[in-house]
């Protein structure tokens, strides 16, 4: 499937969060950003025929995209309403994704995945670098990780240090535009553009 076709399919079939919860930092990854990441991962041979975990899956855009590109997907998410939406999309698209309803930090897992995809909470109004708690926790169960982070210049610098401290080798990074839809009451603009940093990494 071509990148553009994937983007269109995701934008038509993946749901918004029905009731976005700020403490869980629920932001849907735009279809273009998801398709760019997945297309790249596919080119690196990290998707087709691979065991892929979509961690903090939300309504499932990364996992659904990976399944469309031929991965065997497990999706993990703490919020039941988001999971319902993910399941709706899977039914509609006739996709078979193994969905796990759990908090990542209490997940009893004994599986290993080829590839992990994750857009974790960044810790915007909470703990700085909260995303790195998620990355560190999940990095033991996968070989290759694709993670999405705040792409501000200062964060780019800190992340390269934090990844190294946590024993993760950064293999590739790129920046992408992340138009943020007005999803919470204090979002003044209808569409505000942020930059995100996508990191491909593995345990050093
Ligand atoms: N992956 C989706 C959602 C990103 S938003 C996408 O790219 O569109 C971050 C997601 O992390 C939300 O769905 C939120 O509910 C989930 N989340 C937050 N804390 C979590 C935790 N401790 N365990 C599992 N999921 C969590």
pLDDT at residue 10 tops 90: yes
pLDDT given at position 189: 58
Percent of the chain at pLDDT exceeding 90: 86
CA of 68 to the centre of ligand 1 (A): 21
Residue from 26, 32, 66 nearest 146 by CA: 66
Q: Which of 24, 73, 150 has most ligand 1 atoms within 8 Å of CB, for mutation? A: 24
pLDDT per position as a tens digit, 143-172: 999 999 999 999 999 999 999 999 999 999
Mean pLDDT of 23-38: 96
pLDDT given at position 67: 98
Mean pLDDT of 59-72: 98
pLDDT given at position 204: 86
Nearest-atom index, ligand 1, CA of 105: 22
**Residue 87 in contact with residue 67, Cβ under 8 Å?**
no
pLDDT confidence bin for 123, thresholds 50/70/90: confident
pLDDT given at position 128: 83
Global confidence as pTM: 0.95
Which residues, other chains included, contact 188 with Cβ-Cβ below 8 Å and sequence gap of 6+? none
pLDDT given at position 186: 59
Q: Which residue has the least CA distance to atom 7 on ligand 1?
A: 29
Q: For residues 169 and 160, what is the distance between their CA atoms, to the nearest angstrom?
A: 9
Cβ of 103 less than 6 Å from ligand 1: yes
Mean pLDDT of 101-115: 95
Cβ of 22 less than 6 Å from ligand 1: no
Half-sphere exposure of 148 (CA within 13 A, CB side): 25
pLDDT confidence bin for 192, thresholds 50/70/90: confident
CA of 121 to the centre of ligand 1 (A): 6
């Amino acid at each position: 499937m071509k990148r553009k076709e994937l983007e269109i399919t995701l934008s038509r079939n993946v749901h918004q969060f029905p009731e976005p919860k700020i403490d869980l930092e629920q932001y849907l990854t735009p279809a273009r950003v998801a398709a760019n990441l997945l297309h790249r991962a596919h080119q690196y041979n990290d998707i087709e025929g691979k065991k892929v975990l979509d961690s903090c899956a939300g309504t499932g855009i990364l996992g659904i995209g990976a399944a469309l590109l031929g991965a065997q997907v497990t999706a993990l998410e703490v919020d039941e309403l988001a999971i319902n939406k993910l399941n709706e999309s899977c039914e509609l698209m006739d996709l078979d994704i193994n969905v796990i309803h759990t908090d990542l930090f209490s997940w009893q897992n004994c599986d290993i995945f080829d590839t992990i995809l994750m857009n974790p909470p960044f810790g915007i109004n909470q703990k700085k670098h909260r995303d790195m708690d998620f990355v560190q926790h999940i990095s033991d169960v996968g070989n290759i990780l694709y993670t999405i982070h705040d792409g501000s210049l200062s964060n780019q610098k800190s992340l390269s240090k934090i990844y190294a401290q946590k024993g993760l080798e950064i293999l590739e990074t790129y920046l992408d535009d992340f138009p943020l839809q007005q999803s919470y009451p204090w979002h003044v603009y209808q569409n505000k553009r942020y930059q995100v940093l996508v990191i491909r990494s593995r345990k050093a």
